[in-house]
């Protein structure tokens, strides 16, 4: 690992990461900001993509192609589909899918297009390091399937569809697109999410409050993983 990319979807997801660094070089490119930092001699580029699959694909590709990152870690929040996941719980994806990708009219399964796969697997090596860090810090982390789509899911009906179709544990709006980019470019990657809401929660709950607290939980854990990777 020569240069590490760390991504989030929203500024709120990367702010707790940036707080760990003092000398930050900011580069503006493709209508976004990329924060270049160093941790114990390791060069790191941090960015938030903005929400959704297209922006996430653009940012991941930029970090790899323009900035030369050879490993990518994603930190952020997600909604729970697995009823055992509670707010603040951590999940690392063993595989990801796009729950809103649908050409079933042509006889294909949900989440599939010709030339692609329903599921994209993350780096086993990075997951093992993450599990070691969790064990050393007595953190409860589950490995599971994360489903991605360009919609904030808040209906029980949609949640049940995603659970039944993909056996997903959590859902969000960026991970699978980052997975497709990294897998295609042979970049080891890892998607970490802290639960900020359950997908069928009442609409009046304070998402911003849970976004902030869960983003910090995810970021703090990720920094520990980076330190372990850099040893």
Maximum pairwise Cα distance, the chain: 53
Active site residue 13: yes
Q: Around Cβ 155, how many Cβ atoms within 10 Å?
A: 11
Q: Is the dihedral of CA 138, 83, 215, 34 positive or negative?
A: positive
What are the C-alpha distances in Å from 22 to residues 18, 57, 74?
8, 28, 21
Q: Which of 12, 89, 169, 197 is catalytic?
A: 197
Q: Which of 12, 13, 89, 172 is catalytic?
A: 13
Among residues 71, 79, 15, 47, the alpha carbon closest in space to that of 188 is found at 71
Active site residue 197: yes
Name residues whose C-beta falls within 8 Å of residue 93's C-beta, 6 or more positions apart in sequence.
122, 143, 144, 145, 146, 175, 179, 190, 191, 192, 193
Q: Which residues form the catalytic set?
A: 13, 197
């Amino acid at each position: 690992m020569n240069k590490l990319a760390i991504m989030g979807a929203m500024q709120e997801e990367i702010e707790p990461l940036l707080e760990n660094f003092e000398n930050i070089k900011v580069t503006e490119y493709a209508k976004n900001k990329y924060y270049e930092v160093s941790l114990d001699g390791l060069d790191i580029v941090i960015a938030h993509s903005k929400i959704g699959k297209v922006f996430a694909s653009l940012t991941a590709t930029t970090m790899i192609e323009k900035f030369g990152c050879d490993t990518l870690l994603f930190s952020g929040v997600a909604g729970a589909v697995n009823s055992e996941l509670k707010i603040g719980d951590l999940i690392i994806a063993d595989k990801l899918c796009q729950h809103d990708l649908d050409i079933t009219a042509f006889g294909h399964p949900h989440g599939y297009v010709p030339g692609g796969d329903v599921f994209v697997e993350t780096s086993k090596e990075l997951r093992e390091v993450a599990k070691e860090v969790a064990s050393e810090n007595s953190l409860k982390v589950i490995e599971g399937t994360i489903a991605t789509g360009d919609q904030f899911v808040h209906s029980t009906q949609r949640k049940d569809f995603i659970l039944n179709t993909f056996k997903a544990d959590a859902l969000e709006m960026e991970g699978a697109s980052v997975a497709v980019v990294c897998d295609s470019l042979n970049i080891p990657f890892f998607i970490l999410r802290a639960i900020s809401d359950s997908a069928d929660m009442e609409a009046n709950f304070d998402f911003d409050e849970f976004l902030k607290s869960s983003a910090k939980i995810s970021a703090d854990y990720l920094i520990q993983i980076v330190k372990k990777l850099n040893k």
